[in-house]
């Protein structure tokens, strides 16, 4: 990761000071898009793409009659906007997502990410929907391009609250029925589950040609805990307590979480799933860049 200018990307902790999620999304996405170089690979849906010779059976509405008047040949005009997609955001709101060691907890970070993606897809005329889940589906907004869809999605995201513990298997069974069209599925979670279980659970989402992105949101303290003295740690989901020494947290726990992240990444890639680790002290642009890469691949 290259060092970034502090003025270009906004610290996620600062976003917590913005009360409305739609404003958060606008702040993040506008700042991100304004910083991009103009590129032929990226554009908006009404942008011209190419001409193609008319063949019998083509819709006459797409014939460029101006060209026909000048050349007496019929060409079809194609736009990139026509290659629109469906974005489904799946946000884990289990209790562990409420953990925070600094200004912003993981759920807030996930919400900012989700609403930013929803805003971005709205700009691109993509249909965006959201599923809020923990051990069950708590809220669902069907992907749509209707007017006010972004606000519905933002509203659902804003009202997401931390729930109980995560149970991937149970809600994901139901997700299959929500995903009727192929599109992009974004899962935002801390994935406190065995990597095999996670991949096995989310893998069916790809079967209908969906692109699947796993955004692994973790607090920096979860990756490298810094304990000054033996501490009593309480599990936020199960409320179990374990006394942990600084030495253990530094050595054994660090090795285990690194192995977990590595295993999750390897298994995701093996299953054709995109995986991105997002520490909550890092700006959201990595996530947005990942989304664009996927979106590009679908055009």
Partner 1 sequence: MGFFAPWFLAGAVAIGLPFWIHLLRQYRSTPHPFSSLMFFERRTQSSIKHRRLRYLLLLSLRVALLLLIALAFANPFVSRSGGATGGRKMLVIAVDNSFSMRYDDHLARAKQTAVNAVSNLNPGERGQVLAVGSRVHFLTQPVEEADQLKAAIQGIQPSDEQSSYGELARALRTISQTSRIPLEVHFSSDLQKSSMPPAFADLRLGTDTKLVFHSVADSKEPNWMLESVTAPAKIYDPKKVRIQAVVAGSNTPQTKRTVSLALDGKTLESKMLDVPSNGRASVEFLSLDSPHGFHKGEIRIEPGDALHEDDRFDFAIERTDPHPVLFLHPAGQTLDELYYRSALESVSEAGFTLEPLAVEQAGNQSLSKYAFVVLSDVGTMPPGLEANLRAYVAGGGSLLVALGPLSAALARVPVSNETIQGSAYASRGDSRFETVAAADAEHPTLRRANKLDGVKFYQEIKVDPGQSHVIARLTNQAPLLLEKQVGEGRVVVFTSTFDNVGNDMPLHASFVPFVEETARYLGGQQDRSTNVAVDSYIELRSAQEHGSAIDVTEPDGSHPLSLKDASTTQTFQVTREGFYDIHRANGREELVAVHADRRESDLTPIPQETLALWQNTGLGPDTPSGDGSAADTQPRPWSLWRYALLLVLIIAIIESVLASRYLSVEKEVA
Site residues (CB under 8 A) for partner 1?
Answer: 96-99, 106, 190, 192, 219, 222, 228-238, 240-248, 253, 256-257, 260
293 has which bridge partners? none
Residue closer to partner 1 by CB (options 150, 192) is: 192
Residue closer to partner 1 by CB (options 72, 240) is: 240
Residue closer to partner 1 by CB (options 180, 256) is: 256
| C-alpha 295 chain-centroid distance | 12
What residues contact 189, with CB distance under 8 A and at least 6 apart?
A: 90, 91, 92, 94, 97, 110, 166, 214, 215, 216, 217
Measuring CA to CA, which residue among 117, 83, 93, 82 is closest to residue 190? 93
Residue closer to partner 1 by CB (options 63, 261) is: 261
Instruction: State the nearest-atom distance from the C-beta of 248 to partner 1, in Å.
Output: 5
Instruction: State the nearest-atom distance from the C-beta of 126 to partner 1, in Å.
Output: 32
80 three-state secondary structure: helix
Task: Measure the CA–CA gap between 261 and 280, rounded to whole angstroms.
Answer: 15
Instruction: State the nearest-atom distance from the C-beta of 191 to partner 1, in Å.
Output: 10
Q: Give the residue ranges of DSSP H helices in 36-105.
A: 65-71
Strands 211-218 and 127-133: unpaired
Question: Which residue matches tokens 């026909």?
Answer: 68
Residue closer to partner 1 by CB (options 41, 240) is: 240
Q: Are 43 and 80 in contact (CB under 8 A)?
A: yes
Instruction: State the nearest-atom distance from the C-beta of 168 to partner 1, in Å.
Output: 13
Instruction: State the nearest-atom distance from the C-beta of 253 to partner 1, in Å.
Output: 5
């Amino acid at each position: 990761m290259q060092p970034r200018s502090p003025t270009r990307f906004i610290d996620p902790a600062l976003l917590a000071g913005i009360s409305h999620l739609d404003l958060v999304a606008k702040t993040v996405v506008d700042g991100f898009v304004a910083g991009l170089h103009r590129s032929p690979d990226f554009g908006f849906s009404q942008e011209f793409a190419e001409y193609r010779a008319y063949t019998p059976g083509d819709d006459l509405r797409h014939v460029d009659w101006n060209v026909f008047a000048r050349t007496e040949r019929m060409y079809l005009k194609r736009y990139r906007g026509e290659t629109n997609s469906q974005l489904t955001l799946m946000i884990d709101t289990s209790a562990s997502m409420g953990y925070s060691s600094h200004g912003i907890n993981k759920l807030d970070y996930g919400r900012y990410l989700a609403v930013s993606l929803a805003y971005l897809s709205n700009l691109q005329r993509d249909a965006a929907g959201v599923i809020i889940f923990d051990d069950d589906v708590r809220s669902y907004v069907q992907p749509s391009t209707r007017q006010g869809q972004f606000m519905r999605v933002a509203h659902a995201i804003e009202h997401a609250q931390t729930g109980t513990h995560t149970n991937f298997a149970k809600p994901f069974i139901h997700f299959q029925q929500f995903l009727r069209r192929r599109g992009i599925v974004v899962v935002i979670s801390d994935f406190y589950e065995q990597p095999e279980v996670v991949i096995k659970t989310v893998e069916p989402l790809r079967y209908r040609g969906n692109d699947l992105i796993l955004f692994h949101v973790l607090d920096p303290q979860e990756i490298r805990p810094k304990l000054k003295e033996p501490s009593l740690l309480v599990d936020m989901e199960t409320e179990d307590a374990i006394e942990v020494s600084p030495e253990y947290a530094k050595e054994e726990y660090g090795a285990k979480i690194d192995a977990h992240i590595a295993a999750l990444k390897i298994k995701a890639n093996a299953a054709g799933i995109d995986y991105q680790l997002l520490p909550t002290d890092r700006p959201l642009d990595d996530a947005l860049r990942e989304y664009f890469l996927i979106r590009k691949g679908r055009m």
